[in-house]
Amino acid sequence: MAYSLNRVSNLLLEYPSGVLADKVGRLKSTMLGSFLLGMGMPVLVIFEVPRGYIVILSAVLGGAGMAFISGSLEAWAVDTFGRANLKKLFSNMGTLKNIGGVVASVLAGISVKYMGLKWPLLLSGALGVLSPAMLFFLKDNRGHHDSRTILLKNLKMLRDIRFSMLVLIILLVSSMLSVFFMIWPITLRDVGIHESLLGFVYFVLMTFMAIGSYLARRASNEIKGVRMFLIGGTVITSTIALPLKSNPTKPTAMLILVLLFVFEILIGSYYVFIARLRNSVIPSEIRASASSMISLVNFGVGMVILPLFLALGDLASKWIVCSLLLVFGMIVFELWKTKYTQQAGSKP
């Protein structure tokens, strides 16, 4: 129930927070989100005996905090550092995010083991609550000053075939990734990887994703990069599905492990490429709200279809679903590329 309320609060505030960021300031929205996210942790341990409503409050605060951060921070960074530096910007952001996730997970595990749950929650909450102080002295930026104009411009963007097709591609890939992140641990367990090793495998996968984000800066063309991810991902997911139909052996387990490492590199690079393409289409004045609108669509559709995909047949069938989503994404992407090239060529 707490997880559901976290998702619901995130869903309800995702777009309004983007509008607020464009209207008032992207850093202001980010600072508010950091504060709310930080407050969601210490409330769990402030009271000696956590009650149900305290857990619910923590979940709602966490979901709200993520909503205020999600589109705002990226929009601020893009308009601060300029579109000419997007490749390096998103490569750095992706690399630091994934490496930071690995380091934070290790530190969290060690601190919980030796200090219990209370002090790590208080410390992480304090860092979240105090982090706005580090952003306070940075120069803020914003989009349009009128909420109604922001809404109308977002609706106009949805009618732009170049934008709506890109949203569909992102939705298809996000749906695939949602299934993928749920089934890879189950797959490794079923092919003979001991459960005690899955945590270590997770850290290695995150490291390979960071490598993918870093390598993406060397790519000369983001369109080719997204195509490489879609083709490579289709081959990898379908290859993993095939041996799962029979009795997997130890060599099969090692093959799947290697394929997962390669796939994580592709995923890390995809996040960089698609962020560059997305921000090349979205104008500055609605950058945060339009990004939040994409996230809203992903969250809303994901909450409905993810349980349906996970309920489909055996494990091999779920990997086939991943392959099919990538194939559909590839078809839409090729159509989008044609539109993108035509519109770029028609500009004076």
What is the per-residue pLDDT for 309? 79
- CA separation (Å) from 300 to 8, 165, 174, 304? 9, 17, 12, 7
Query: pLDDT tens for residues 189-230?
Result: 988 888 889 989 999 999 999 999 999 998 878 999 999 999
pLDDT of residue 346: 52
Residues 9-47 pLDDT 10s: 888 899 999 999 999 999 999 999 999 998 888 887 776
Ranges under pLDDT 50 in the chain:
347-348
Instruction: Tell me how far apart the alpha carbons of residues 51 and 99 are, in angstroms, rounded to a whole number.
Output: 34
Say how far apart CA 110 and CA 208 lie, in whole Å.
Answer: 22
Q: Which helix (DSSP H) or strand (DSSP E) does residue 53 occupy?
A: helix 52-81
Helix or strand holding residue 239 (H, E)? helix 222-244
CA torsion angle 336 160 301 311 (round to 10): -30
The answer to whether 274 and 173 have CB atoms below 8 angstroms apart is yes
Amino acid 344: pLDDT:
54
CA pair distance 148, 140, nearest whole angstrom: 22
What per-residue confidence (pLDDT) applies to 348?
Answer: 44
Local structure of residue 48 (DSSP, 8 states): S
Question: Where does 148-346 sit in CATH, by number?
Answer: 1.20.1250.20
pLDDT of residue 341: 66
Token pair of 6 as six digits: 């976290």
Query: What local confidence, expressed as pLDDT, does residue 247 receive?
Result: 67
The rounded distance, in Å, linking the Cα atoms of 162 and 222 is 16
311-341 burial code (b ≥16 CB/10 A, e <16):
eeeebbebbbbbbebbbbbbebbeebbeebe
C-alpha–C-alpha distance, residues 289 and 111, integer Å: 37
Question: Taking the CB of residue 299, how many other CB atoms lie within 10 A of it?
Answer: 18
